[in-house]
Amino acid sequence: MLFITKSVEFSASHRLYNPEWDFQKNQEVYDKCNNPNGHGHNYVLEVTVKGKPNPDTGYVIDLKKLKDILVKKVLIHLDHKHLNVDVDFLKGVIPTVENISVLIWDIVKPHITDGELYKLKLYETPNSWVEYYGEPVEIKRFENE
């Protein structure tokens, strides 16, 4: 089995807060990430596909095809956006790197037709990231957010 990874980058801002909590509780939990005007990151998204190479092409998946999926299905919605405000698939969701990863997986998975989506790794900073392997995770959505 082979594992092939494509890396793409996007810049976005967000605010971490739970609308069911008061400002003090949000401040205790999220600290400076609770800035009412948001704060930004330069994210790096790595998507790994596993499989056996197609004998006719030698590819598990054509990396140009994978990049095209990521650009057209994910980056177009996230790059230079405020995640709380501008991104439909994040409406009502606390935009933590964990929640973002799960929702990106759900978007990308149906479009991987060569190989199998294996892992998604999303860096919020060079020192902080999440790895997601597709296990079901329930994401809470808040009304009127």
Q: Is the predicted pLDDT of residue 145 greater than 90, yes or no?
A: no
Over residues 110-120, the mean pLDDT reads 98
Q: How many CA atoms lie within 13 A of 49 on its CB side?
A: 24
Cβ(77)–Cβ(8) below 8 Å = no
Residues near 98 by Cβ (< 8 Å), separated by ≥ 6?
Answer: 130, 132, 137
Residue 81 C-alpha from the chain's centroid? 13
Domain residue ranges in the chain = 2-132
Over residues 11-39, the mean pLDDT reads 97
Band the pLDDT of 27: cuts 50, 70, 90: very high
Active site residue 14: no
Mean pLDDT of the chain: 97
The string of pLDDT tens digits covering residues 43-57 is: 999 999 999 999 999
Sheet holding 39-51, edge to edge: 81-82, 2-14, 39-51, 116-125, 128-132
The two beta strands, 116-125 and 39-51, are: antiparallel
Q: What is the DSSP letter of 61?
A: S
Band the pLDDT of 144: cuts 50, 70, 90: low
- What is the fold of 2-132? Tetrahydropterin Synthase; Chain A (3.30.479)
Active site residue 9: no
Active site residue 131: no
Distances (CA, A) of 67 to 45, 60, 61, 78, 94: 11, 14, 10, 15, 27
Of these residues, 9, 28, 39, 80, which one is catalytic? 80
Of these residues, 33, 82, 116, 145, which one is catalytic? 33
Residues near 57 by Cβ (< 8 Å), separated by ≥ 6?
Answer: none
